[in-house]
Amino acid sequence: MQIGDGTDLDLQSLRSFVRASEQGSLTSAATTLGIAQSALSRHIGQLEAVLGKRLFHRTGRGVELTELGQKVLPRAQALLADAGEIVKDAHSLLRRPAGAVSVGLLPSLARPLASRLYARVHDEFPDIRLRIFEAYSGETEVLLAEGRIDIGLFNHYRPLRRSGYHAVFSTEMCLIAKAGSPALQQGSLRFPAFAKLPLAMPTRPNNLRALLDDIASRQEVQLQVLMETDSQNVMKDAVIHGGLHCVLPRHAVLDESLQGLVGIAAITHPVIRQSTFIGTTRRRPMTDAGKEVLRMLTRLLQDIGATASFRARRTSSR
C-alpha cells in the first residue's frame, strides 16, 4: 500500500501494531505472533515512520496507545479484517465448482425441471454451465453408459436390480383423455376397460409399452393402439384434438389439466407405478460441479414427487 512519499504501509506492520495494542505488551505481542520482539519493534517503528508520529507510550508495565495510536487502531483493525476476507474469498473461488455438466431429462419432466434447475445452479454456482438433453429412458441409459452425459433420469415400471441408481420418486400411471370424455366419468377404470379405448402409445422398444403389452397378454385382452409415437407432445395432441387416450403420469399433463384440456383417471387391476431413477455415468469420476448439480436435481425431483403425491391424494379424496 503506497503512501505519499513512496513508503510502503505493509500488513505485517499493521498486524504487529494491532497485536501490541491488544496485548499492551511488546513481549506478549511478539510471542502470540511467533516472531522475535526485535522484529515486532521494527515493524511498529516502520509504521510510525510512515505515519510521522509515535503510536505508543512506553511505560513500566508495557505500552499504551498515544492519541494517534487510538485513532489509527480501529482503521488498522478494519484493514486487517478486509485483507482476511480477500484471502478467504480467493480460497472460496478456487474451491467453487465450475465447468460444464450434461444432464439428460425425461420429456415428462423436462419442462418443469430445466428452468428450475438452471435458476438454482445460476444462483449458487454461476460458474457451472448446464447442457440439457431431452431423452426417453432407454436413450438416457445408453447416453450414461457411453459417458455422453454426466447425469440422467430414466423410468422403470418393474423392480430394478441394478445397483448404483437412486429412485427419487414413484407415481401412478393414469389414463389421460380429453376433458369430458366418457372414459373419465367413474374416476377410475379396470385394465380390460382401458384396453378397449382407442389409444396412442409409445413405439417399441419401450419399457412402459412392454409392460402394458405383458399385462394385456396375461389378461387375454387386446390393446386398441391406433397411433404410435416417440413424442409425448404428439401423444398429448392426439388426446386433445384426436379423441385418443394415452397413459402418462399426472405431472406430465399438469399444464393441460389446469387449462381444462385433459382429464385424468386411475387405472386399476393392476395399478401401474412408474419409478423415476437418477443415475450418473460410470465412464469417469463425477466433478465437483456434477456433484452439486446432482444434489440440486435430486432435491427438485423429490419436490415434484411430493407434489404429485399430494395432488393424487387430494383427487382421490373428492
pLDDT in tens, 248-270: 998 889 889 999 999 999 999 99
C-alpha cell at 267: 387405472
The mean pLDDT value of the chain amounts to 87
Q: How much is the pLDDT for 2?
A: 41
State residue 214 phi and psi, 5-degree precision: -65, -45
Task: Locate the domains of the chain by residue range.
Answer: 11-95, 99-316
Residue ranges of the chain whose pLDDT lies below 50: 1-6, 310, 312-318
Q: How much is the pLDDT for 4?
A: 40
Q: How much is the pLDDT for 162?
A: 57
Pairing of β 262-268 and β 166-178: antiparallel
CA distance 32 to 40: 11
Closest C-alpha to 63, from 16, 23, 9:
23
Q: How much is the pLDDT for 316?
A: 45
Architecture of the 11-95 domain: Orthogonal Bundle (1.10)
Contact indicator for 273, 157 with CB cutoff of 8 Å: yes
139: three-class secondary structure by DSSP? helix
- Overall pTM surpassing 0.85 (yes/no): no
CA angle 59, 61, 66 (to 5 degrees): 40
Question: Do 11-95 and 99-316 agree at the fold level?
Answer: no
Q: How much is the pLDDT for 87?
A: 76
Q: How much is the pLDDT for 307?
A: 60
pLDDT in tens, 161-180: 655 677 888 889 999 999 99
- Please tell me the CATH code under which domain 99-316 is placed: 3.40.190.290
